[in-house]
Chains A and B, each alone.
Chain A
């Protein structure tokens, strides 16, 4: 049973990353109509920023949690201002191709300087050690990742669904021209949205650095799984992305316990099943 709980915890942690990343993809898609292929590369950048802060500047994990998303978010906003904004009105596919190119550039640059092997990132002192819960041993850092991700996800949901800023955002998703006519600076909102989505990816990167090591290709394979998550959940609803992300992480963890050979593929197989039964995805608006 210990092993089962351990795999469930791993599943919840992967689920946190799926949720944070698919949430960002959904927010970006809503505003920019772009599927951000660079999301995995920017997640990796988040982890690297944390690594640099610690090893070059001696700045600890807690500051990295704040600084890395801001740095990567600003980088993302520069990308949006210099490149992505020129794609408005073009076919969606060009956004995919452009961001794929950006992902190749970012990953290639990091691979040149850091190779393909992973670099360790120490767990902060306050979160070291573990707790005995009676039925299992819980490493504190892992518990922290799950709870913190959940809080961030809920906060993002609250920001978009329940605040005035979020209302503007949702309105601009539906009808940007009309929202502009009310005197709201929609292009600036688009830039900020991209920054927010990308910042969430970077935050996930910082969270994963002590668990998965810091590698240039850490986001490359992850983003494909997240795409499958997005196909399963649909991008129509924020809460849908969060729930699907966590649920698929848990299912993956269970698969690791009961049938480890399929743990790499289970999310893709589920995607196929969902497409066969309900082609529009679980929270499904057709797109």
Chain B
């Protein structure tokens, strides 16, 4: 079986320097968005999906586990945050915490179940679990079914920052995104991340070396689900609602697509992929279901001709790790 990423480069000081340079460029560019005249709502939305895709990528790109149900963390965190903000009237920082905690608990449960099988079975199990959750949320009273939780108050972050101002909200979302991104970067480059890559490349060998691979995969799953939850909580402030679309399997498919376009197992790929897909949806919104057809075509083209993704191809060309 061919590994997902065919050219794994060693972590060298040069690689880390490259990555830090790109990270700083990305952070500066994103911080400059409010001064550029670009519609901040679009960028905020893209940032939430970028964080979700990065979390997803931690599992597939570094653990070799394709989760087809990552929308469940996005949606669950969204519902928990929305409920905490609207019904319990908690301040935003606690609202985010409740959402992330919800995703954390969910990932403990679903991780324990799904990690028992590998490969495509893992994908089918995560998909089925997210569909199970979809039906639960459809019937549960607190989610308000088809309507979702609407009109969520944005409030004042830490009592100071007024989140109803787009620029303030933008920087709060950006800080959340960068924090999540750096956390994932740290995980990937930790000893834990190295073991994860070893498991992806050759699980039987990792087991023979004495690693309890199930525990590593479980921890990676929980970390991924929790960070995905952060993305879901941030998204509540941007969209001001929490609805069933965030739990639907088509959302999970979109996250897979974003990461695939950007590059599986690359650090910056999911971010690029998320911006590309969200921009495409924005510009093609008038074409109705043709957007689905185009997304399907991108899947097909990526898998057949372009498996490394945008960032993966660039990194491969320059022999750098990005």
Contacts and interface: CB of A to CB of B under 8 A. Distances in A.
Interface stretch (B32-40, B81-89, B150-158, B298-306): B298-306
Given A227-B124, A264-B135, A111 B296 contact: no
Contacts of A227: 124, 127-128
A184 interface: no
Nearest 8 pairs between A and B by C-beta? A101-B299, A104-B296, A108-B292, A105-B296, A268-B132, A108-B293, A279-B116, A227-B124
Contacts of A93: 4, 60, 66, 119-120, 123
B23 interface: no
Given A231-B125, A271-B125, A97 B293 contact: no
Contact of A89 (B2, B116, B123, B131): B2
A102 to B, nearest CB: 6
A94 interface: yes
Interface in A160-193: none
23 contacts: A35-B120, A87-B303, A90-B2, A91-B3, A91-B4, A92-B1, A93-B60, A94-B303, A98-B299, A101-B300, A104-B299, A106-B296, A108-B289, A108-B291, A108-B292, A221-B131, A228-B124, A264-B135, A268-B129, A268-B132, A269-B132, A271-B128, A275-B125
A100 B299 contact: yes
A265 B135 contact: yes
B304 A92 contact: no
Interface of B: 1-4, 60, 66, 68, 113-114, 116-121, 123-125, 127-129, 131-132, 135-136, 138-139, 249, 253, 256, 260, 288-293, 295-300, 302-304, 307
A100 B114 CA distance: 20
Nearest to A38: B296
B119 A230 contact: no
Contact of B290 (A35, A101, A108): A108
Given A230-B124, A275-B117, A107 B139 contact: no
A172 to B, nearest CB: 18
Nearest to B117: A279
Given A87-B303, A91-B2, A227-B128, A112 B120 contact: no
A272 B302 CA distance: 33
Contacts of B249: 224
Nearest to B297: A105
A268 B112 CA distance: 15
B296 A102 contact: yes
A231 B66 contact: no
Interface class of chain B by DSSP: helix
Contact of A108 (B121, B136, B296): B296
B119 A287 contact: yes
A86 interface: yes
Given A98-B304, A279-B117, 6 more contacts: A93-B66, A97-B66, A97-B260, A100-B256, A268-B132, A275-B116
Interface of A: 35, 83, 86-87, 89-98, 100-109, 111-112, 221, 224-225, 227-228, 230-231, 261, 264-265, 268-269, 271-272, 275-276, 279-280, 287
A231 to B, nearest CB: 5
A227 B126 CA distance: 10
A83 B304 contact: yes
B293 A228 contact: no
Nearest to B136: A265
A276 B253 CA distance: 26
B293 A112 contact: yes
A93 B1 CA distance: 11
A98 B303 contact: yes
B296 A231 contact: no
A27 to B, nearest CB: 15
B121 A104 contact: no
Contact of B300 (A98, A264, A271, A280): A98
B131 A224 contact: yes
A97 B299 contact: yes
B284 to A, nearest CB: 12
A228 B60 CA distance: 21
A108 B295 CA distance: 10
Contacts of B1: 89, 91-92
A224 B117 CA distance: 17
Given A97-B256, A231-B121, A287-B119, A224 B127 contact: yes
Contacts of B118: 287
Given A91-B1, A275-B117, A102 B124 contact: no
Nearest to B291: A108
Given A264-B135, A265-B136, A275-B113, A111 B292 contact: yes
Question: Which of A83, A87, A91, A228: most chain B Cβ within 10 A?
Answer: A91
Given A108-B296, A111-B289, A35 B124 contact: yes
A104 B293 contact: yes
Contacts of B3: 91
A271 B66 CA distance: 19
B230 to A, nearest CB: 25
A112 B289 contact: yes
Nearest to A104: B296
Given A91-B2, A231-B125, A271-B128, A100 B113 contact: no
A45 B295 CA distance: 20
A268 B124 CA distance: 11
A87 B307 CA distance: 11
